[in-house]
Amino acid sequence: MAVYGIGLVLKLIEYASGLEAQLEEMNGSSSFRPKTSPDPTIRRLLESENFDRGTPQYSMDELREIGKNLPKKKRKASAYNKRYSKAFKKLAPKFKKKNGSWKKNGFKNCAKAARKEAKK
């Protein structure tokens, strides 16, 4: 459950930072209305009377939904992975037939050779 709670906190921070930016643009104007409306869950949290105490009541389904909507961070390829993939592509034709399919144990042998070359 902690993971979904973190998602909610992140969404709240993003929403609050957007509001701060809008306030800075307005330079203290008295008629402030946010440009974007928050998620229904965030809206419920902001309107709840328990918001000051920090104990809102959410179901696991609501917390899961918030967790699903967060963007996933794509992993960065390591230097070894880049060397391996380059070596694999270079060696692959040696382990393939004329029609483009792999020879017997061709993929396994190609991967082994690519690992050996990437290790150098």
pLDDT of 88-109, one tens digit each? 999 999 999 999 999 999 999 9
* Count of Cβ atoms closer than 10 Å to residue 47 Cβ: 8
Residue 75 reports pLDDT greater than 70: yes
Q: Assign 57 a pLDDT band (cuts: 50, 70, 90).
A: low
Instruction: Say what the pLDDT of residue 72 is.
Output: 75
Q: What is the mean pLDDT of the chain?
A: 76
List of long-range contacts for 65-73, beta carbons under 8 Å, 24+ apart: 65/41, 66/4, 66/7, 66/8, 66/11, 66/39, 66/41, 67/3, 67/4, 67/7, 69/7, 69/11, 69/39, 70/7, 70/10, 70/11
Instruction: Say what the pLDDT of residue 39 is.
Output: 67
Q: Assign 43 a pLDDT band (cuts: 50, 70, 90).
A: low
The larger pLDDT score, comparing residue 1 to residue 6, is at 6
